[in-house]
A and B are shown apart, each in its own frame.
Chain A
Amino acid sequence: MSTVVHYLNQFFAGFGGEEAADHEPVRLDGPQGPGRGLAAAGLTVDVTLACGDDFFGEHEEDALSTLLGWIEEFEADVLVCGPSFGSGRYGYACGVLAREVGRRGIPVVAAMTPDSPGVLAAEGAAHIVPTGSNVAGMREALPVIASIASRLAAGEAVGGPDDEGYLPRGLRVNALVDRTGAERAIDLLLAKLAGDVATEVAPSGDRVPPPPPVDDLASARLALVTEAGCVPQGNPDRLPTRHANVWLRYDVADADGLAPGDYESVHAGFDTTAANADPNRLVPLDAVRELERAHIVGVVHDVFYTTSGVDTPVATAARHGQEIAAELREAQVGAVILTGT
């Protein structure tokens, strides 16, 4: 028997409108409000959790802590959030809760408008059923939510966004198909040569926009970061030459540059001969010291950061970036030169 938990805001839980928006999180037995509609659509809600929209927005950490604690206590098999329709605050709360619950391995189904802030907040952790901007879309949304949530609660597979009627989560999951890649490739090519161009995968829109110019470079702390595998000679900390799952930092506070013989590249993805002849071409410490002396940059950060960017899974690389960025922020670094290979 699976456990279904439903999250609502103060209005849909029956506590009131704006006057109740600062309502603390509460737990209620059985379905409330739209939860009864879910039951009619075949999904029986065991527990309803509710929170005022303002309370969630103003006390997000506390609200999340309480709600997540209850969801774990109930050993939920699936969480349903909303529908929140076009409500910004409610949608945001649904999205954040969905993200955190989804990250804990519990399936989540939410419903909201495609432009709701909750869609972004969920970060792909939930199946989000698109709705209209107001409750007029309730009748249409509930059966879809119930259908998806029932199967997720039972551990059953759910089809793709087009088939099931949820918003693409930005994920690409593996599927075993009848035909080999070779068969598919030839079919696609022959169709293309006949004028019908199609593809199984296109580049994602995950492009990093260029950051705005540094406001005041002459007073900024400038850090050097590289994926060129630049390490002290002999690689004392054993930075992997490929598939790196770590990044390292090295102190250069007292150095004017990286001397040949003191540093080297252990990167396995390019011919390192020229780079090792002058490691400053991997980590341009000599150049930024000149800029520092000329007061073009404020100060060069005391350490440089390094890893080997070859064969590293994107998820690992993203984690490296986030961890290094966190340190840079902590050190109040205002500008970074990132050298790639």
Chain B
Amino acid sequence: MESTLADLEIATFAVDEVVEGTQTGWSDGRLTLALPQLAVGAGDPALAEATVEVVRPGDSVRISNVLDVALPSARIGEALPSARIGEALPSARAGEVRLHRLAGVAVLTLCDWAGAGYDGAEELPDSLVDMAGPGADRSPWGVTTNIVVRCVPSPGVEVAEADRAVRGAATSVATTIAEATAGATPDDVRSVGPLPPADASLPAVAVILQVASEGPLVDTFLDGEPLGEFAPRVLDERRLYEGRLTNGAYDWPGVRNVTAAYQDLSLLRELRAAHGERSRYAGLILAPGYLDGADQKRRAAEASAELAQSLVADGVVCTTFSSGNSHTDTMLTVQACERRGIGTVALVCETNGGLTDHVPEADCLVSTGNEDELVDAWIPERVVGGDDRARVGERVPAVHYLGGLAETGDARWTAVPA
């Protein structure tokens, strides 16, 4: 689907305070949340329970079983209905669309799949956010005010259906609270429309965003549909801003690409800022990772490189999706690009054993941290999300803290020699 959002704008509302009240609303930096109503709105027949609560930085709270994070965001336009994150949008005319987004607040979804009895779910790694204690800075979501949506699937519901409902609950809350700002004056408005031509002597830089979509609980969705097997493709980045690329992959949390990262990808923000100054933005390529076979991996890497070439990119930034297998996809993509004369930098997470994979052409890498490093044990006053997989009082590897080692470039950890 081609985007028609030529003049898409993002209006940001800085949240100074979040309070509970009888009606969700917005007033001059103060976000009032009617939690019971939000929970009702998040309800779904596939869910036996959906609860909403607020957790703040500094609270002695560990959040467990965290699946995803979404930025509160709603599409506001006088002539158009709003659309939820992850949903396909009706067409819009240029200049009609503005995204309202709250800053400093995030919507976290929680579900204990193993506790709900789903086969194989016990193998999903423990996923944590600490609001205080030694792990508070290990997740970017330890410093935001978090609206936590905790879901319990109804008995007997298929896992894909339950996951659809869980993701829907999050987007319902995220959209509803952002809609509260309709008609209000934002703190900042930025255009994410087409960029003007830039000096042709500046290097053209593209992004290869790697995602994987392997089935329920390890899926990535575009316009609400699992990507499944797909060939690399050029994607209008405005689809990311609108929240149309969403996460449903609950593998290693430290290197998980959460929906919030897609909604406000640091790489795109920085490349737009650099456009015309230091570089030219060449485009975004969505590429598959975690591919099963060697041939598949090589074909996808070559196809990504070919697309980068078609964008006339001088250089590309290659991101990585999760841990292990996908690092080979990244390395092969680096190799394919370099062999076509396209310079690369890749973002990869390390382990205590070093890099998972490497090719000689990968001479320029960003380390997003060492996933095996142990974070000191902590005993919070309260656990939100269930005690079973909260690892209270244990030293916990950094990879269990959500988004802390993101290989999309959205976090600030790295690994250094010692």
Contacts and interface: CB of A to CB of B under 8 A. Distances in A.
Interface in A192-207: 192-193, 197-204, 206
Nearest to A168: B417
Contact of B353 (A183, A186, A198, A204): A204
Contact of B324 (A199, A201, A310, A318): A310
Interface string A165-178: 00011011111111
B412 A181 contact: yes
B414 interface: yes
A242 B290 CA distance: 13
Contacts of A312: 324
Contacts of A186: 205, 267, 270-271, 274, 279, 317, 345
B184 interface: no
A311 B251 contact: yes
A269 interface: yes
B324 A269 contact: yes
A241 interface: yes
How would you classify the secondary structure of chain A's contact residues: helix, strand, loop or mixed?
loop
Interface in B340-382: 343-345, 347-348, 350-355, 358, 363-373
Interface residues of A, number: 50
Contact of A314 (B345, B353, B364): B353
Nearest to B218: A268
Residue of B252, B269, B353 contacting most chain A CB atoms (<10 Å): B353
B203 A173 contact: no
Given A188-B366, A199-B364, A313-B351, A160 B417 contact: yes
Interface residues of B, number: 65
Contact of B343 (A189, A201, A240): A189
Given A189-B205, A200-B365, A313 B123 contact: no
5 contacts: A171-B417, A174-B369, A174-B413, A206-B354, A270-B293
Contacts of B265: 182
B325 interface: yes
B72 interface: no
Contacts of A293: none
Contacts of B123: 240-243, 268
Contacts of B323: 311
A203 B358 contact: yes
A185 B355 contact: no
Contact of A311 (B252, B354, B372): B252
B400 to A, nearest CB: 11
Interface in B286-320: 292-293, 314-317
Contact of A175 (B351, B407, B415): B415
Contacts of B373: 173-174
10 nearest A-B residue pairs (beta carbon): A314-B353, A182-B409, A182-B266, A181-B409, A204-B354, A172-B415, A201-B367, A189-B345, A203-B358, A173-B418
B411 A181 contact: yes
B417 A180 contact: no
Contacts of B370: 172-174
A17 interface: no
A234 interface: no
Given A172-B416, A172-B418, A185 B267 contact: yes
Contacts of A204: 353-355
Interface in A116-173: 160-161, 168-169, 171-173
Contacts of B417: 160-161, 168-169, 171-172
A329 interface: no
